[in-house]
Structure 1
Amino acid sequence: MTSLATRVPRHIVWDWNGTLLSDNHAVVEAVNVVCTAFERDHIDIDEWRSLFGRPLQKCYERLLRRSLDEQDWARIDVLYHNAYRDLLHSCRLADGVPNLLADWAGTGRSQSLLSMWFHDELVPLVSSMGLDGYFSRVDGLREDLGGGSKAEHLVRHMDALELDPRDVVLIGDVLDDAHAAQRAGTDCVLLTTGVMSRTALEEAGCPVVDSISEALARIDGRTG
Structure 2
Amino acid sequence: MPSGHIVWDWNGTLLDDGDAMIGAVIAAFADAGLVVTVEDHQRLFTRPISAFCERLANGPLAAAELAELLGGFDEHYTRALPDLALAVDAEVALAGWAASGGTQSLLSMCPHEVLVPMVRAAGITGSFRHVQGRSGDFADTKAAHVRAHLRELGDPDPARVVFIGDTVDDAAAAASVGARCVVYHSGRSALHAREHFAGSGAPLVESLTEAVTTARELLAT
Displacement of 1:68 in angstroms is 0.3
Q: Which amino acid aligns with 2:146?
A: L
| C-alpha distance 147-24 of structure 1, shift in aligned 2 (>3 A) | farther
Give the alignment partner of residue 160 of structure 1, picking from 152, 164, 177. 152
Percent identity (aligned)? 36
| C-alpha distance 9-172 of structure 1, shift in aligned 2 (>3 A) | farther
Give the alignment partner of residue 192 of structure 1, picking from 178, 185, 189. 185
- Asked whether the 8 Å contact 2:40–2:56 carries over to 1, the reply is no
Question: What are the superposed Cα offsets for residues 71-103 of structure 1, whole Å, 9 maximum, x if unpaired?
Answer: 222222222122212211111211212122111
Give the alignment partner of residue 74 of structure 2, picking from 70, 81, 90. 81
| C-alpha distance 149-50 of structure 1, shift in aligned 2 (>3 A) | same
Structure 1: gaps (5+ residues): 1-6
Find the aligned partners of 2:178 and 2:59 in 1 and give their Cα distance: 37
- Structure 1 residue ranges, 4+ long, deviating more than 4 angstroms after superposition: none
Question: What are the superposed Cα offsets for residues 39-88 of structure 1, whole Å, 9 maximum, x if unpaired?
Answer: 112523x3310121233223222222332022222222222122212211
Q: Which structure 2 residues correspond to residues 136-155 of structure 1 after superposition, within 5 A?
A: 136-143=129-136, 148-155=140-147
Displacement of 1:121 in angstroms is 1.3
Tell me the TM-score normalised to structure 1 length: 0.88
| C-alpha distance 71-215 of structure 1, shift in aligned 2 (>3 A) | same
Find the aligned partners of 2:106 and 2:75 in 1 and give their Cα distance: 23
Q: Which moved more, 1:61-70 or 1:133-142?
A: 61-70
Displacement of 1:170 in angstroms is 0.5
RMSD: 2.2
Tell me the TM-score normalised to structure 2 length: 0.89
Question: What are the superposed Cα offsets for residues 17-48 of structure 1, whole Å, 9 maximum, x if unpaired?
Answer: 0110111121122112221222112523x331
Q: Which moved more, 1:11-20 or 1:68-77?
A: 68-77
Partner of 1:216: 212
Find the aligned partners of 2:198 and 2:87 in 1 and give their Cα distance: 21
Partner of 2:162: 169
Give the alignment partner of residue 13 of structure 1, picking from 4, 7, 11. 7
Structure 2: gaps (5+ residues): none
